[in-house]
Structure 1
Amino acid sequence: MSAIDIVYLWVDGADPAWQTRRQQAYAAWSEAHAGTLALHGNVAGRYRDNGELRYNLRALEQFFPGHGHIYLVTDRQVPAWLRASTRLSVIDHASLMPAAALPVFDSGHIESYLHHIPGLSEQFLYFNDDVFLGAPFEPALWFGGEAAGVNVFVEGETAPSFDDLRPDVAAPVNCATLSRHWLSAKYAGYVHAPCLYAHAPRPMLKSVLHELEALAPELFINVRQSTFRSWQNPALLPDLVPRWMVYMGHARQQVLDPLHVASGADDAPEALGQLLRRFGQLPFFCINDTCDEAEDDDPRLLRVAATLQQLLPQPSSFELESA
């Protein structure tokens, strides 16, 4: 099996220097782009560090010890607990994106550059740090075994559908609307499936992303216009990329509903209990921070932290002993 590299986006929203950059950038951006902020596009929960990356690396080392190189994409930040390793590189935004675009606080903008990371393997897994491996990694589940291409996962429920992009719907719905518009205009035989892609580790092929960027430069230009998440410029990697890969034969699609925990939801305790019972049998799971502007010591967040520590108590080789 060829190397499968790992790419994470990470931010520490409590960093004072980063907070200053965010506040100054948002003041300027919101004045120039009134009414374009996506739903929940700039809440504290989007940037809060709940320790997910530390536990994500623990899960990665436990369930996929043979992973390739890890690339951690950050904005002038490095986790205080991170141990230097020949298996991990910190990629600063400034080394990946044009200086004129910085700073950037829209993950859709940032992730549109991932395939430009120098040295990245052809096959790679892209993780948001709130999505974890939950069982031993099986390459054929993600990269199709001996066949070329990747496997992508959709949720079982039918997704809401709208004719146009809207400011009052969740980002994944606007991502699907953008996909339908572009793919229907580009390919006469395209039929849009009324589904959303699971919030999962995303198997990617570097050459295929370069192919799409060359085919549709306007899409990448548009998503790279946003300093903050904009409902007018939806992200490409969560929906358009997998739909296009499926249509072009680069990917196969299957239904695989993940265990999705929303930390601010009323059913979070039950969902976390289910996670404790099923850990080790879940290909992946997601713990999404939906507490928005809550304080860091909010009981809902502390409950998530305690669950992760219970699941993954053993430090990884990427952690400093004293941290």
Structure 2
Amino acid sequence: MDNKIDFVVLWVDGSDPEWVEEKNSYVPGDTTPEIEAARFRDWDNMKYWFRGIEKFAPWVNKIHFVTYGHLPSFLNTENKKLNIVNHKDIIDSAYLPTFNSAAIEVNISKIAGLTDKFVYFNDDTFIISPMKERDFFVNGLPCAEGLEEALTSIGDGAAYAHHILNDIDVINKHFNKREQYKKNFTKYFNFKYRLQNIRNLSLLIWKNYTGFKNAHLPTAYLKNIWETVWYEEEERLSNTTSHKFRSYYDLNQYIFRQWQIASGEFYPQLTPGKVIEVTNDNLKEITDEIINQKHKLLCINDNQDISDFEKIKNSINEAFAKILPEKSSFEK
């Protein structure tokens, strides 16, 4: 297996007039949370995503930047570590254009030249302090928490909760939970999880997997696992790809993470990061997390309900500028 590690990230410019016009031409009459503006708006901080990687994870082999076709104005496309991936490079033209992140995600293993080991990032997750390869892979295996959880609805009408339920339905179709626990006992019950081992202990009563803990942070993957899942579930993954907007019937990228955990193809390790959802009241908490570099990874999750987007955006970006003031080689 190739020891190189690539990063993959999806990006969209929600202000691109051409993209907006095309998206609106496909918007159904009954609008849903899946097509709200906050799902696509740009926080104008992608340059800090690249700066964080260059400063704190310089060992990365290549960054695959997946896009509708537009690019950030700052981006140096001549950088040898950068590969621009258009949706048409990985998705059949019959399904394009697509505005469904799940549809794009499940196809990223088709990126030409993608290494056997890769890490998938959302564009709202940043490396803010030094990381090593072993934060993502150990002994050739992707790092993950082999921890179950009981699935609950997020209650806002969004499709994401349905995606996770669909994912676990596929997992239970292919894996016998109790047999896998016996085969991989020390991966499901591990001293690194500490008190969180109670999760799996309390859910042993259930015959099937009830769901897996998801830190909503960058995920380490083995490409061969994606190929296996596509072979086994091509119809459902193709169905996901066919939906232009998120659908309750989609799978998403976590089907591949769950498959790795259920099959035992992972190294037990907690993800070194934190997720914060932006609100009108927690700006100081977010900027403190960045400036004090409290974690290796920080996900800043957008929120449709924040009242002063520009103020919050500028304050967060000022915090990033304090720890990442210098241009990266990915900038013009």
The match for 1:10 is 11
User: How much is the aligned-residue C-alpha RMSD, in angstroms?
Assistant: 2.6
Check the 8 A contact 2:167/2:251 in 1, yes or no. no
Q: Summarize the Cα distance change of 1:90–1:229 in structure 2 as closer, same or farther, 3 Å threshold.
A: same
Counterparts of 1:62-81 in structure 2, within 5 Å, are 62-81=55-74
Structure (1/2) with the larger helix percentage: 2
Once the two structures are superposed, residues 271-304 of structure 1 have per-residue CA deviations (whole angstroms, 9 ceiling, x without a partner) of 3323322x1x52211011214686763x222222
* Alignment partner of 1:271 out of 277, 283, 286: 286
Give 2:74's aligned amino acid: W
How far off its partner does 1:222 sit? 2.4
2:186 alignment partner in structure 1: none
**Within-5 A mapping of 1:32-111:** 37=32, 40-83=33-76, 84-111=78-105
Q: Distance in 2 between matches of 1:159 and 1:311?
A: 38
Greater shift in the superposed pair: 52-61 or 175-184: 175-184
Q: Does residue 212 of structure 1 match 2:224?
A: no
Q: Contact between 1:109 and 1:226, CA under 8 Å: does it hold in 2? A: yes
Give me the whole-angstrom Cα distance separating, in 1, the residues matched to 2:150 and 2:51.
33
Out of 280, 289, 307, the residue aligned to residue 302 of structure 2 is: 289
The aligned residue for residue 199 of structure 2 is none
Larger CA deviation: 186-195 vs 82-91: 186-195
Structure 2 CA distance for partners of 1:295 and 1:25, relative to 1, 3 Å = farther
Q: Say whether 1:310 aligns with 2:322.
A: yes
Percent pairwise identity: 25
Secondary structure of the corresponding residue to residue 120 of structure 1? coil
Judge conservation of contact 1:5–1:124 (CA < 8 Å) in 2: yes
- Within 5 Å, give how 1:85-234 maps onto structure 2: 85-144=79-138, 147-153=139-145, 160-161=151-152, 168=156, 170-189=158-177, 191-234=208-251
**Partner of 1:126: helix, strand, or coil?**
strand
**In structure 1, the residue corresponding to 2:3 is in which secondary structure?**
coil
Question: Where in structure 1 are there 5+ consecutive unaligned residues?
Answer: none
Aligned to 1:282, what secondary structure does the other structure show? coil
Q: So what's the TM-score if we normalise by structure 2?
A: 0.82
Structure 2 alignment gaps of length 5 or more: 179-207
**Paired residue total:** 301
- Deviation per CA, 1:77-96, whole angstroms, max 9, x where unpaired? 12111112122121111222
**What is the CA-CA distance between 1:195 and the residue it aligns to?**
4.3
Give, as a single letter, the amino acid of the residue that structure 1 aligns with 2:278.
Answer: S
